[in-house]
Amino acid sequence: MQPGGGYHRTVFRVLTRLAWAALSAAVLAASAFAWTTVSTISTGVERSYAIPADAPRSESGRNILIMGLTTRLDLHGEPLPDDVLRRMQAGESDRGGYNANTLILLHIPVSGPAVAMSVPRDNLVPLSSGGEGKIKEAYGRAKVAEEDRLRAAGTHDRRELERAGREAGRRAQVRTVSSFLNQPIDHLVEISLIGFFHIAEGLGGVDVCLRNATKDPLSGADFPAGPQHLDAGQALSFVRQRHGLPDGDIGRTRRQQAFLSAVTKRLKGADVGAVQAMIDMAKQDVVLDAGFDLAEFARDIPTEVRFDTLPIEGGAHLGGLDVNKVDQAKVRAKVTELATAPPPPPPGDGIPCVD
């Protein structure tokens, strides 16, 4: 690789190809940013064995499940520093639990654009552990069950319980989503709430656009209408808000997609130092499956990704909880359709406005 300008041009060409991968941007951009030092980057990323080596694989490309957890704890189950919690505006460390509030199936075909399919978190589905529940609950329920089993068997080390519980949660979430969508999961990327914050903070904030002014004390959102620049704390409020949005959780899903687009644009214009800062900060929040080859991904990733949200049939009230009714056959048909014919790209190069 040439030093100086040649090096930086090479870095930016590769970064441009990876810039859209927002939730996993810290790791995926890292693989491109330091292509020649992938082994060093890989050793700094937590690895999971939730997807067995002999698990079924996609025949039409690769399916990556991106999971965003609500927990306010770090990867070891330890509370975040008070000053970080304050800047996040997301409440105390004991809030949030281990729901997978963000679920995106990223399908990378053999050729053509990739498609990121958002799975609404409140879909009522069969859980891999048995019975029905919201699809987001598969992780947390399995984590609690595994920790209870280990305690009964005599394990009381807190970090060991956390590690084993999270692995059980990952396995359950992968199996639940795979079964619901009738799609094999080739890889997983897990990022906690602090990861959203660190991505935005490492990039110096992101640019978004709102159709209307909005204010929600529960998430800390307080934004005027129109284009605006958000710092890390505001960006987290932006992706967390659901109260006061016309479509509630579906509106929040569109906010998450807007955040992905914002990170894309920010990365394309960022200098090498800013990208490295984001990588260094966010690596501590990301988990990849053990078989995820970062160098291979950086070489093969398409230049374009398109976004869509999988359909629901409407809301329902079950056992005191609001859930989404879904027609599984329609959902699976939509996944097949999107995997073979992704939605058209948004018009123009500007920032798309959302509610």
Report the CATH number that the domain containing residue 91 is assigned in CATH. 3.40.630.190
Dmax of the chain from CA atoms? Answer: 63
Predicted local confidence at residue 226, as pLDDT: 93
pLDDT at 8 over 50: no
Q: Are 261 and 238 in contact (CB under 8 A)?
A: no
What range defines the domain where residue 102 resides? 5-354
Tokens representing residue 198 in the block: 């660190």
Helix (H) or strand (E) holding 134: strand 132-134
Q: Are 227 and 261 in contact (CB under 8 A)?
A: no
Domain total of the chain: 1
Percent of the chain at pLDDT exceeding 70: 77
Q: What is the mean pLDDT of the chain?
A: 80
* Of 26, 17, 23, 14, the residue nearest 278 (C-alpha): 26
pLDDT at 74 over 70: yes
Predicted local confidence at residue 26, as pLDDT: 38
pLDDT at 351 over 50: yes
Percent of the chain at pLDDT exceeding 90: 36
Predicted local confidence at residue 22, as pLDDT: 36
Cα angle 59, 123, 318; round to 5: 150
pLDDT digits (tens, 9 = 90+) for 204-251: 888 899 999 998 888 888 999 999 999 988 888 888 887 878 877 788
Q: If you average pLDDT over each of 91-105, 215-229, 270-284, which comes out highest?
A: 215-229
DSSP assignment of 90-129 equals S--TTSSTT-EEEEEEEEEESSS-EEEEE--TTBEEE-TT
Predicted local confidence at residue 45, as pLDDT: 78
pLDDT digits (tens, 9 = 90+) for 304-332: 778 889 999 888 777 777 889 999 999 99
- 276 pLDDT band (50/70/90 cuts)? low
DSSP assignment of 61-78 equals EEEEEEEEE---B-TTSP
Predicted local confidence at residue 334, as pLDDT: 96
pTM of the model: 0.83
- 35 pLDDT band (50/70/90 cuts)? very low
Q: Are 43 and 30 in contact (CB under 8 A)?
A: no
- 296 pLDDT band (50/70/90 cuts)? confident
Q: Are 223 and 214 in contact (CB under 8 A)?
A: yes
- 42 pLDDT band (50/70/90 cuts)? low
Predicted local confidence at residue 41, as pLDDT: 52
Average pLDDT of 137-161? Answer: 96
Ramachandran class of 348: left when φ > 0, alpha when ψ lies in -120 to 50, beta otherwise: left
When comparing pLDDT for 100 and 277, which is higher?
A: 100
Question: Torsions phi, psi of 169, nearest 5?
Answer: -65, -45
DSSP assignment of 82-95 equals HHHHHHHTS--TTS
**Residues forming beta bridges with residue 115, ordered by sequence position:** 107, 306
Predicted local confidence at residue 145, as pLDDT: 96
pLDDT at 350 over 50: yes
pLDDT at 281 over 80: no
pLDDT at 348 over 50: yes
